[in-house]
Amino acid sequence: MTSRVGKITIRNPLLLASGILGESSGSMIRVYSSGAGGVVTKSIGMEPRDGYRNPTVYEFESGMLNAMGLPNPGIEHFSDVISRTKAAGVFTVGSIFGGDENEFSHLAGKMEAYGVDAVELNLSCPHVEGFGSELGSSPERVRSVVGAVRQAVRIPVWAKMTPNVADMGSIAAAAEEAGADAIVAINTVRAMAISARLRRPVLSNTYGGLSGEAVKYVGLRAVYEIGKKCSIPVIGVGGVRSGEDVAEYLVAGASAVQIGTAVAERGPGVFGQVADELSDFMEREGFSSLKEMIGIARR
Amino acid sequence: MTSRVGKITIRNPLLLASGILGESSGSMIRVYSSGAGGVVTKSIGMEPRDGYRNPTVYEFESGMLNAMGLPNPGIEHFSDVISRTKAAGVFTVGSIFGGDENEFSHLAGKMEAYGVDAVELNLSCPHVEGFGSELGSSPERVRSVVGAVRQAVRIPVWAKMTPNVADMGSIAAAAEEAGADAIVAINTVRAMAISARLRRPVLSNTYGGLSGEAVKYVGLRAVYEIGKKCSIPVIGVGGVRSGEDVAEYLVAGASAVQIGTAVAERGPGVFGQVADELSDFMEREGFSSLKEMIGIARR
Amino acid sequence: MQGGNLRIVEIAEVVKESPSIWTIRYRDPSPSKPGQFVMVWVPGVDEVPMSLSYTGDEKGITFRPIGETTRALSELSAGDRIGVRGIYGNSFTRTGGEVLVVGGGTGIASVIAAVEPFVSDGKVHAALGARSREELFFEDRVISAGAELHISTDDGSKGHKGFITDVVRRLLGSGWIAQVIACGPEKMLYNTALIAREFGVPGQYSVERYMKCGIGVCDACSLDGRLVCRDGPVFDGDFLLGSEDFGRFRLSPNGTRIPV
Amino acid sequence: MQGGNLRIVEIAEVVKESPSIWTIRYRDPSPSKPGQFVMVWVPGVDEVPMSLSYTGDEKGITFRPIGETTRALSELSAGDRIGVRGIYGNSFTRTGGEVLVVGGGTGIASVIAAVEPFVSDGKVHAALGARSREELFFEDRVISAGAELHISTDDGSKGHKGFITDVVRRLLGSGWIAQVIACGPEKMLYNTALIAREFGVPGQYSVERYMKCGIGVCDACSLDGRLVCRDGPVFDGDFLLGSEDFGRFRLSPNGTRIPV
Ligand SMILES: Cc1cc2nc3c(=O)[nH]c(=O)nc-3n(C[C@H](O)[C@H](O)[C@H](O)COP(=O)(O)OP(=O)(O)OC[C@H]3O[C@@H](n4cnc5c(N)ncnc54)[C@H](O)[C@@H]3O)c2cc1C
Ligand SMILES: Cc1cc2nc3c(=O)[nH]c(=O)nc-3n(C[C@H](O)[C@H](O)[C@H](O)COP(=O)(O)OP(=O)(O)OC[C@H]3O[C@@H](n4cnc5c(N)ncnc54)[C@H](O)[C@@H]3O)c2cc1C
Ligand SMILES: Cc1cc2nc3c(=O)[nH]c(=O)nc-3n(C[C@H](O)[C@H](O)[C@H](O)COP(=O)(O)O)c2cc1C
Ligand SMILES: Cc1cc2nc3c(=O)[nH]c(=O)nc-3n(C[C@H](O)[C@H](O)[C@H](O)COP(=O)(O)O)c2cc1C
Ligand code: FES
Ligand code: FES
């Protein structure tokens, strides 16, 4: 089940998605022990942020919405979390968000110094003004942020894409040109929940991001579409809940996947379960390596 | 339950969405008899089109994907369908798609001549090259198409929006400036399904559009967001399955809604059922008119 | 959504019923009733509606290769994979008395699964018609079910020479038949329905229309405001004979109303 | 997804348990167990975790107004609407023998629902502690459940003067207690757990942490790799006393590890 993402080798292709249990070393170590190939931290910014008031999540049958508001302790306070997590042998990707290329470069440099294995640029948070989506929907800005980070660090740079644009392919292509080592897709889909009986939006921030089963087919599309425009690896995210879901992402062209919302449904043990399901699938279908599966739907 | 969309009055706010049972007069009359406030026809173009090969749909628990490929008999052959439908007293909106403003104007003129009550511009089909999304993701092109149709006909002009863009609000604003009488949102979300066991995309067109419960929260967000930028009425579409869903759309700012995928789940009888559920909701909540509900979540 | 989600199944067996008729069997425990159908996806080719000729856990579809998809289907072997969605549509229902089951050509595939359960409720006559003896199939299933077999071929190579509707008229003339169910070419169905009405016998007819979605959204299969995929494929004679379209019009793949 | 989808409920009743303690009752037939909690949304204000002080069809939450949300809650009346999500978290479980139920301050709200079902399984001692008699509540529920009531107040205005842990030590010293369950300020829980360990009595402790999602995704409530919202709020003493965080560290809303 060894998985390769560019120059990196991971013990399996199932990573914890950013923003899910990625704030404390205890949780990240636990996720890794439960069978994940590695973890992506919560997105970390320049300053401590409490995030939005509750309600910050809304659940429904086939997914959820969240508008956490990028709560994080700030990069200065995150060194301890990374070193504890790395000390436990966990493959750790540091996710960062910022307002411009200077912030991103600074954050990436810090993450590298703390010891992460790769850095993931959150260019795509759909519900925080100034960070995320606005930035991630402009090929020029994506190019300049990725380019700056590329200069600033030696570790692999992953660019995480928003699906809330007309053409994900050309934004991913801009990231590749600027030196990204991999594309991560997708972040959540911009959405909102309303309570008719309370006559108001549910999330304190009004807008939030849709994730879970409801976005699986958007994520698959993104991976497939980006794969047509880019030659760097693509990491699939969105609605992965089972080994067969992972297989769909691999077949669509993903080199690895990340799992977020399914952690709410199936608990942190989801990683081991999905890994077993994936092995069973590969055995039944006669695949002996992930490589044989990756992108065959595109051939 | 009388509903007003600009200058138009409809017997209730539940319309059949375009592309669902909107090809034959028999089906449209049936939908109207089952309690719909009116119908929107399948999107009609300049020439007959068979659409894509099957599989053209993919169902899953909380929604479906489709890539019909805009099958339609062509505008020249559609006069009979409209006249039969209108003869039965059905409030009928003619949906049209084209490659440029000339085609749209021609199609709208024909629809007007056939007797439709309004024309809906499909600026948003996510899976047919050249029509739809590409056009609908550019404010300039939307402005020119809507403007041309506005010149060409006297009946109300509705502009249907794609959610596959970074900023729906400014595209809707362009449509309003160009003279649209209402905005319809959303069309389907670009997506795809993969069969891991067959190692290939399921839909013959590879890409398709996501609809149903999975997109309800995207539709609500679109209506709310557009309502902030536009003063013309907004018609909500996406995942409406129950009276409470309608209430959510109204409260978010929709003047009326359209129902598509729920017709597969609950049958054409869904309109009468949803209308009853909506009345029950209004009674329980002490609303005596739709007007009292519309947009209260925005206040 | 309707519980008819796509399943990828492995073909268990391909049976050649006659020189021109194939049956494909596959395991699928979804509950189903005689008259219901599935959408059968031949990867890389197309997806088409097919009646279930076997409704148990090992389902079956039976067809004549007439075009690209049915030809591709006939070239598959055990172990090959196809996609199926459904179980879709309504079914034939037994209303009591002696029943006449009429199958014309591949329409036999749709009615055959009704013969076996119906015999337990009283006498069943099965009238199977085809162009020639080579195109006949499932006679053995009629016989082993304990139903009475009647045959017609256009060329007289087996049974009555002529149309199956001649047999239908004769059997209805006996006065014993209380119910007709039928599937076959629309002309034949139309005539069967007319004869049954003449004798005052209620009938259920399985109608074919071009299908895309199979789930009642695309309107491709519309027949006078009813959807063959969802309200049908089985309709009663009164509705059909009263409709504008039955025996006369259908929709082409682009939705133009054209003669049947 | 977890079945804890948001429900908008009407308040059935607001009960003032003492000068500083409120209970809100609302109808919600969701099955729940003692120790479980809900996320309570006060529209326009905030959403906070609250233990269920009543677990039947008419659920209840009991709180002291200490900040914006709890104050807003205390100002609501019957007929007002709030949102609830959950039922979330694990619960207290009866392991046999005589049980000592310890509630400190509003922690009483979380353990009280265990007293009633637990008495049917054997003797229950309930030790309730508060700063003063005005902040005590649910003594009546303990008595009518048939449990033995022990009281302490910091100021001695009722019962033992001093800490509830003094009462705990005395009761455990009797040698009869086979199980401890407790909820209250972390300092008190920590000391209770230490005393129970000293006497070799297993204990279950309901811990509070800042919560955002309540469903185990945001990591806000992390306690040494366990999630209070999902793996807890009830943890056993061995885990807690072995952990780095219990009694010492918690995460602030921005995720910084700070002293409890
Ligand atoms: C409810 C239903 C049940 C059916 N059951 C059977 C059966 O048990 N056995 C059998 O042999 N045939 C059955 N058919 C007909 C079968 O679907 C067509 O024979 C098949 O689609 C032909 O496909 P092709 O590519 O081989 O032929 P083509 O060359 O594509 O077409 C030949 C004929 O099949 C029709 N056809 C093609 N595609 C479709 C489609 N998507 N939907 C409906 N008709 C289509 C065409 O209109 C044409 O008349 C059924 C049809 C329906 C609607
Ligand atoms: C599982 C659990 C069960 C609880 N059960 C009860 C109960 O039955 N009765 C009761 O009175 N209190 C209970 N609490 C505590 C209750 O959630 C807080 O008192 C409440 O959130 C205070 O909100 P406020 O706006 O009034 O106060 P604030 O002024 O906002 O804060 C006062 C204190 O409450 C804490 N708090 C604020 N928001 C949260 C939050 N989202 N999650 C956790 N703590 C928060 C703060 O950290 C601070 O210590 C429980 C907490 C948890 C975690
Ligand atoms: C509660 C929550 C918090 C999230 N926070 C972040 C974040 O901080 N940074 C980020 O890049 N993505 C964040 N995401 C997005 C996820 O990483 C992921 O892209 C998305 O949820 C789709 O995957 P899923 O369907 O498996 O959840 C968050 C998602 C959720 C549900
Ligand atoms: C099978 C199908 C066909 C559709 N065809 C069209 C179309 O021709 N024109 C159009 O504007 N929208 C079309 N749509 C989009 C719907 O009108 C609607 O915007 C979308 O499905 C979301 O609503 P729903 O969740 O209620 O289905 C189609 C949707 C489906 C499911
Ligand atoms: S095949 Fe689409 S409605 Fe029947
Ligand atoms: S509150 Fe979010 S993980 Fe516990």
Among D67, D88, D109, the domain-final residue is D88
Residues of B in contact with C6 (CB under 8 A): 55, 58-59, 195, 202
CA of B32 to the centre of ligand 5 (A): 18
Query: Are both C133 and C241 inside the same structural domain?
Result: yes
ipTM over 0.90: yes
CB of A72 closer than 8 Å to CB of A48? yes
Residue C71 lies in a domain: yes
Residue C24 lies in a domain: yes
pLDDT digits (tens, 9 = 90+) for B242-285: 999 999 999 999 999 999 999 998 999 999 999 999 999 999 99
By CB neighbour count within 10 A (0-12 exposed, 13-18 middle, 19+ buried), where does A106 fall? middle
* D113 band by pLDDT with thresholds 50, 70 and 90: very high
Rounded to an integer, the average pLDDT of B42-62 is 95
3-state SS assignment for residue B70: coil
Instruction: Output the average pLDDT for chain C.
Output: 95
Q: What pTM was computed for the model?
A: 0.95
CATH number at residue D81: 2.40.30.10
pLDDT digits (tens, 9 = 90+) for C199-234: 999 999 999 999 999 999 999 999 999 999 999 999
In terms of Cα–Cα distance, which of B171, B48, B168, B184 is closest to B121?
A: B184
Query: Are both C65 and C131 inside the same structural domain?
Result: no
The single residue listed with the structure tokens 């066991």 is B197
Rounded to an integer, the average pLDDT of C75-93 is 96
**Given 3.20.20.70, 1.20.1250.20, 3.30.2290.10, 3.30.465.10, which CATH number is that of B3-49+67-192+210-298?**
3.20.20.70
| CA–CA distance, D114 with D94 (Å, rounded to integer) | 9
For chain D, the three-class secondary structure string (H helix, E strand, C coil) is CCCCCCEEEEEEEEEEEECCEEEEEEECCCCCCCCCEEEEEECCCEEEEEECCECCCEEEEEECCCCHHHHHHHCCCCCCEEEEEEEECCCCCCCCCEEEEEEECCHHHHHHHHHHHHHCCCCEEEEEEECCHHHCCCHHHHHHHCCEEEEEECCCCCCEECCHHHHHHHHHHCCCEEEEEEECCHHHHHHHHHHHHHCCCCEEEECCCCCCCCCCCCCCCEECCEECCCCCCEEEHHHHHHCCCCCCEEECCCCCEEEC
Least CB-CB distance to C219: which of B42, B49, B59? B42
Asked if the model's pLDDT at residue B131 lies above 70, the reply is no
Domain ranges for chain B, please list them: 3-49+67-192+210-298
Q: Which residues pair with C46 in a beta bridge?
A: C42
CB pairs A-D closer than 8 Å: 140
Asked if the model's pLDDT at residue D3 lies above 80, the reply is no
Ligand nearest to the CA of A185: 3
Query: Are both D14 and D111 inside the same structural domain?
Result: no
* B127 band by pLDDT with thresholds 50, 70 and 90: low
Closest CA–CA distance from residue C62 to any residue of chain B (Å)? 20
Query: Which of C138, C208, C251 most suits a substitution to test ligand 1, by most atoms within 8 Å of the C-beta?
Result: C208
- Pair of tokens at residue A296: 């065959």
3-state SS assignment for residue C119: helix
Give the N- to C-terminal CA distance of chain A in Å, as an integer.
22
Q: What percent of chain B lies above the pLDDT cut of 90?
A: 92
Which pLDDT score, from 0 to 100, does residue D178 have?
A: 93
Least CB-CB distance to C2: which of B59, B62, B198? B59
Atom 2 (ligand 4): residue with closest C-alpha?
B19
Asked if the model's pLDDT at residue D216 lies above 60, the reply is yes
pLDDT digits (tens, 9 = 90+) for C144-170: 999 999 999 999 999 999 999 999 999
E strand or H helix at C143, and its extent?
helix C139-145
Which pLDDT score, from 0 to 100, does residue D175 have?
A: 86
Query: Are both C139 and C242 inside the same structural domain?
Result: yes
Residue D125 lies in a domain: yes
Query: Are both D69 and D140 inside the same structural domain?
Result: no
CB of C61 closer than 8 Å to CB of C21? no
> Which are the contacts of A254, defined by CB distance < 8 A and separation ≥ 6?
A13, A223, A234, A235, A236, A294
* C246 band by pLDDT with thresholds 50, 70 and 90: very high
pLDDT digits (tens, 9 = 90+) for B158-210: 999 999 998 999 999 999 999 999 999 999 999 999 999 999 999 999 999 99
Least CB-CB distance to C5: which of B60, B68, B74? B60
> Are A166 and B191 in contact (CB < 8 Å)?
no
Asked if the model's pLDDT at residue D59 lies above 60, the reply is yes
| CA–CA distance, A223 with C234 (Å, rounded to integer) | 43
Asked if the model's pLDDT at residue D57 lies above 90, the reply is yes
Query: At C153, phi and psi to the nearest 5?
Result: -130, 145
Query: Are both C30 and C50 inside the same structural domain?
Result: yes
Query: Are both D130 and D155 inside the same structural domain?
Result: yes
Kindly state if the Cβ of B236 falls inside 6 Å of ligand 4.
no
| CA–CA distance, D8 with B281 (Å, rounded to integer) | 14
Give me the residues of chain A with pLDDT under 50, please. Answer: none
Inter-axis angle of helices B101-114 and B139-152, nearest 10: 40
Query: Are both C56 and C115 inside the same structural domain?
Result: no
Helix, strand, coil share (%) of chain C residues, nearest 5: 25, 35, 40
Pocket of ligand 5 (CB under 6 A): C 211-214, 216-221, 227, 229
Which pLDDT score, from 0 to 100, does residue C64 have?
A: 95
- Touch test D–B: 3 Cβ pairs or more under 8 Å: no
- Pair of tokens at residue B171: 């595209």
| CA–CA distance, A18 with A16 (Å, rounded to integer) | 7
- Touch test D–A: 3 Cβ pairs or more under 8 Å: yes
Least CB-CB distance to C1: which of B26, B54, B265? B265
Gyration radius of chain B over CA positions? 18
> Are B57 and C217 in contact (CB < 8 Å)?
yes
- Pair of tokens at residue D1: 């997804």
Asked if the model's pLDDT at residue B117 lies above 90, the reply is yes
Residue C1 lies in a domain: no
Tell me which amino acid residue B112 is: E
Alpha-helix runs per DSSP H in chain B:
25-33, 79-87, 101-114, 133-136, 139-152, 168-177, 216-229, 243-252, 262-266, 270-285, 290-293
Residues in chain A: 299
Cis amide linkage into residue D43, ω under 30° from 0:
no
Residue D75 lies in a domain: yes
Residue D1 lies in a domain: no
pLDDT digits (tens, 9 = 90+) for D28-39: 999 999 999 999
Find the domain containing D17 and state its range: 7-88
CA of D222 to the centre of ligand 2 (A): 16
Query: Are both C148 and C255 inside the same structural domain?
Result: yes
Query: Are both D114 and D28 inside the same structural domain?
Result: no
**A125: annotated active-site residue:** yes
Residue C123 lies in a domain: yes
Give the N- to C-terminal CA distance of chain B in Å, as an integer.
22
Query: Are both D143 and D240 inside the same structural domain?
Result: yes
Total count of domains within chain C: 2
- Pair of tokens at residue A221: 């599309």
CATH number at residue D226: 3.40.50.80
> Where do the DSSP E strands lie in chain A?
3-5, 8-10, 14-16, 38-40, 57-60, 63-66, 92-96, 118-122, 157-160, 182-185, 189-192, 194-195, 200-201, 207-211, 234-237, 254-259
Residue-wise burial string across B226-240, b where 16 or more C-beta atoms lie within 10 A, e elsewhere: bbebbebbbbbbbbb
Which pLDDT score, from 0 to 100, does residue A124 have?
A: 80
The single residue listed with the structure tokens 């670009």 is B190
Q: List C-alpha distances in Å: D212 to A18, C248, D109.
A: 16, 64, 21
Which pLDDT score, from 0 to 100, does residue D60 have?
A: 97
Query: Are both D73 and D121 inside the same structural domain?
Result: no
| CA–CA distance, A111 with A87 (Å, rounded to integer) | 15
> Which are the contacts of A62, defined by CB distance < 8 A and separation ≥ 6?
A212, A213, A214, B61, B62, B63, B213, B214, D1
pLDDT digits (tens, 9 = 90+) for C23-66: 999 999 999 999 999 999 999 999 999 999 999 999 999 999 99
Task: Give the residue from D1, D11, D50, D249 with the most A CB atoms within 10 Å of its CB, the best one to mutate.
Answer: D1
pLDDT digits (tens, 9 = 90+) for B201-224: 999 999 999 999 999 999 999 999
CA dihedral B92, B93, B97, B102 (to 10 degrees): 110
Residues of B in contact with C230 (CB under 8 A): 267
Residues A68, A125, A215, A222: which is the catalytic one?
Answer: A125
Which atom of ligand 1 lies nearest, measured to the CA of C47?
41
CA of C34 to the centre of ligand 3 (A): 47
